[in-house]
């Protein structure tokens, strides 16, 4: 079986809809979607769903743009919250051309660690809180949204550790009891092409799925030496993917989509993970991330999913997911989550060997996930993506732990784990940082035998 397509190298990395701060030319045209100007937040029509964004980085800003472009309108952004003024300002500037869907005066722009409460307090029960901060804060913000009777869109990932994810699962159950709708940022589940292939798999077109191969290999993200001292907490939050406590680390940030795809394809959760990883010789990276993560997930029926993540410059890049069944192979997704989706005639992975393709996607999954959420809100339909999303996140941290601990880690271990990277996130801007650099400016790196995360 071929490790990669024989025909060509993967295409260059593209910018996704989430990362659209540098490209707002479509916004002016999209502002016509709303049709008419809508009234002020305190006198809004009942038909208008109001939004508050909590976390104004590129991903959150992109999510609001996707909501504006969805078929679930009319919607209006009425409040914004972040701990960094420059991010809030940049987000507002990127969105302000959606004139009919923006109503965020200065007194509804909130800064600070309690800003999430102030922004959500601007909403009515049934409106939508958009939770797009780093995942260490997800459960805290989700709990307040549910308390306020708000529907939620929340971005991946959902917590950095097992305790946080189990809290998110409980909150998802609480939301379901209150009939609140929650959408999550695993947008590939809303891809028409992938859903068409999933149906083919369920109908037996590939036979029994025995192997899944998922790759994200790219040039890498590295951190130079850090001095620490005053303002260290805020600096770590501003670059979260270099640290485990705020984001779960770079592996989780980048690979949760591929691991969710593996679980979706198998329609189950892996029972164990066995991984290996490390850093290149002479690495000057001062972050907590490893350069390579290679994980073998095992499912209850014995099927395997091989997940490969690499962040090393001057290396072969790949961003794709493949499936091998007893009848033939398929590609599930392509570069930067593109719907490169098809079935091959046999096990040979080559563009000249394709036997089936779905119809081209008419709607971006980033937009479709908003149409689905808003449609469920308007039609009073059950809609709660928390359980499957949090469980895919648990599978992801199981894989991460297997690499960091250099051993097999089981699903049962993860579900019983009481491990937390940071037990108290009730910060102020002057709080000490949860992790500190050594005298060379380097942060603690996972070392088997001296590292704990299960």
Write the pLDDT tens digit of every residue in 44-72.
456 999 999 999 999 999 999 999 999 98
Shared domain for 95 and 133, answered yes or no, is yes
Q: What is the mean pLDDT of residues 268-273?
A: 98
The band of 21, judged by pLDDT with boundaries at 50, 70 and 90, is very low
Read off the CATH number of the domain in which 231 is found.
3.30.360.10
User: Model confidence over 189-245: pLDDT tens digits?
Assistant: 999 999 999 999 999 999 999 999 999 999 888 999 999 888 999 999 999 999 999
Euclidean distance between CA atoms 135 and 454, whole angstroms: 18
Q: What is the mean pLDDT of residues 383-408?
A: 98
Shared domain for 294 and 172, answered yes or no, is no
Euclidean distance between CA atoms 217 and 313, whole angstroms: 10
> 437 in a domain, yes or no?
no
> 213 in a domain, yes or no?
yes
Shared domain for 376 and 323, answered yes or no, is no
> 454 in a domain, yes or no?
no
394 class by beta-carbon count within 10 Å (0-12 exposed, 13-18 middle, 19+ buried) = buried
The whole-chain average pLDDT of the chain stands at: 91
Euclidean distance between CA atoms 265 and 252, whole angstroms: 19
> How many other C-beta atoms can be found within 10 angstroms of the C-beta atom of residue 57?
23
Q: What is the mean pLDDT of residues 244-272?
A: 98
Predicted pLDDT at 303: 98
Predicted pLDDT at 27: 37
> 61 in a domain, yes or no?
yes
Predicted pLDDT at 73: 83
Euclidean distance between CA atoms 173 and 19, whole angstroms: 31
Shared domain for 108 and 205, answered yes or no, is no
- At CA 150, angle to CA 414 and CA 73, rounded to 5? 115
User: Model confidence over 135-152: pLDDT tens digits?
Assistant: 999 999 999 999 999 999
Shared domain for 120 and 262, answered yes or no, is no
The band of 16, judged by pLDDT with boundaries at 50, 70 and 90, is low
> How many other C-beta atoms can be found within 10 angstroms of the C-beta atom of residue 314?
6
> 421 in a domain, yes or no?
no
Euclidean distance between CA atoms 214 and 233, whole angstroms: 34
Enumerate residues 6+ apart whose C-beta is below 8 A from 106. Answer: none
Shared domain for 175 and 280, answered yes or no, is no
Shared domain for 160 and 277, answered yes or no, is no
Shared domain for 83 and 142, answered yes or no, is yes
pLDDT at residue 115 is higher than 50: yes
> 78 in a domain, yes or no?
yes
Q: What percent of the chain has pLDDT over 90?
A: 87
Shared domain for 92 and 106, answered yes or no, is yes
Q: What is the mean pLDDT of residues 115-138?
A: 98
Q: What is the mean pLDDT of residues 6-35?
A: 38
CB 92 within 8 A of CB 127: no
Return the structure tokens found at 255.
């690979």
Read off the CATH number of the domain in which 100 is found.
3.40.50.720
Predicted pLDDT at 333: 97
The crossing angle, in degrees rounded to 10, of helices 162-177 and 138-147 is: 20
Shared domain for 217 and 111, answered yes or no, is no
> 401 in a domain, yes or no?
yes
The band of 374, judged by pLDDT with boundaries at 50, 70 and 90, is very high
CA distances from 353 to 246, 325, 328 (A): 44, 16, 11
Shared domain for 111 and 255, answered yes or no, is no
> 452 in a domain, yes or no?
no
CB 288 within 8 A of CB 244: yes
Predicted pLDDT at 230: 84
pLDDT at residue 28 is higher than 60: no
The domain containing residue 23 runs over which residues?
17-188+368-383
Shared domain for 24 and 135, answered yes or no, is yes
Q: What is the mean pLDDT of residues 102-121?
A: 98
Bridge pairing between strands 209-218 and 318-325: antiparallel
pLDDT at residue 10 is higher than 60: no
Lowest mean pLDDT among 9-18, 81-90, 407-416, 431-440: 9-18
Q: Which residue has the higher pLDDT, 5 or 154?
A: 154
User: Model confidence over 339-360: pLDDT tens digits?
Assistant: 999 999 999 999 999 999 999 9
The backbone torsions φ and ψ at residue 299, rounded to the nearest 5 degrees and listed phi first, read: -100, 165
Total structural domains in the chain? 2
């Amino acid at each position: 079986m071929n490790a990669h397509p024989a025909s060509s190298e993967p295409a260059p990395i593209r910018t996704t809809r989430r990362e659209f701060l540098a490209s707002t030319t479509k916004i002016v045209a999209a502002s016509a979607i709303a049709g008419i100007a809508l009234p002020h937040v305190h006198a809004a029509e009942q038909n208008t769903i109001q939004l508050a964004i909590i976390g104004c980085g590129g991903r959150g800003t992109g999510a609001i743009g996707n909501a504006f472009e969805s078929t679930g309108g009319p919607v209006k952004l009425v409040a914004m919250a972040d701990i960094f003024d420059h991010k809030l300002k940049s987000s507002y500037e990127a969105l302000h051309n959606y004139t009919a869907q923006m109503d965020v005066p200065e007194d509804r722009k909130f800064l600070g660690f309690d800003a999430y409460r102030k922004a959500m307090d601007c909403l009515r029960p049934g409106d939508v809180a958009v939770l797009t901060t780093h995942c260490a804060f997800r459960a805290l913000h989700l709990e307040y949204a549910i308390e306020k009777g708000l529907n939620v869109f929340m971005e991946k990932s959902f917590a950095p550790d097992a305790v946080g994810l189990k809290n998110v699962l409980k909150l998802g159950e609480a939301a379901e009891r209150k009939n609140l709708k929650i959408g999550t940022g695993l947008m590939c589940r809303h891809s028409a092409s992938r859903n068409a292939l999933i149906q083919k798999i369920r109908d037996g077109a590939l036979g029994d799925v025995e192997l899944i191969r998922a790759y994200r290999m790219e040039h890498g993200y590295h951190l130079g030496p850090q001095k620490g001292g005053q303002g260290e907490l805020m600096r770590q939050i501003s670059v979260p993917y270099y640290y485990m406590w705020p984001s779960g680390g770079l592996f989780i940030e980048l690979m949760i989509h591929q691991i969710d795809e593996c679980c979706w394809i198998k329609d189950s959760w892996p029972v164990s993970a066995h991984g290996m990883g490390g850093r290149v010789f002479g690495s000057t990276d001062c972050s907590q991330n490893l350069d390579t993560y290679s994980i073998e997930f095992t499912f209850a029926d014995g099927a395997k999913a091989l997940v490969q993540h690499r962040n090393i410059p001057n290396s072969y890049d790949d961003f794709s997911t493949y499936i091998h069944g007893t009848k033939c192979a398929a590609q599930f997704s392509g570069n930067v989550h593109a719907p490169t989706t098809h079935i091959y005639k046999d096990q040979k992975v080559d563009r000249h060997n394709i036997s089936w393709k779905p119809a081209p996607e008419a709607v971006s999954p980033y937009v479709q996930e908003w149409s689905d959420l808003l449609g469920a809100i308007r039609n009073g339909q059950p809609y709660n993506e928390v359980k499957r999303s949090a469980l895919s996140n648990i599978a992801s941290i199981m894989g991460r732990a297997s690499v960091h601990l250099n051993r097999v880690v089981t699903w049962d271990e993860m579900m019983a784990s009481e491990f937390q990277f940071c037990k108290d996130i009730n910060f102020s801007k002057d709080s000490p940082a949860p992790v500190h650099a050594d005298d060379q400016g380097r942060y603690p790196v996972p070392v088997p035998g001296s590292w704990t995360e299960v």
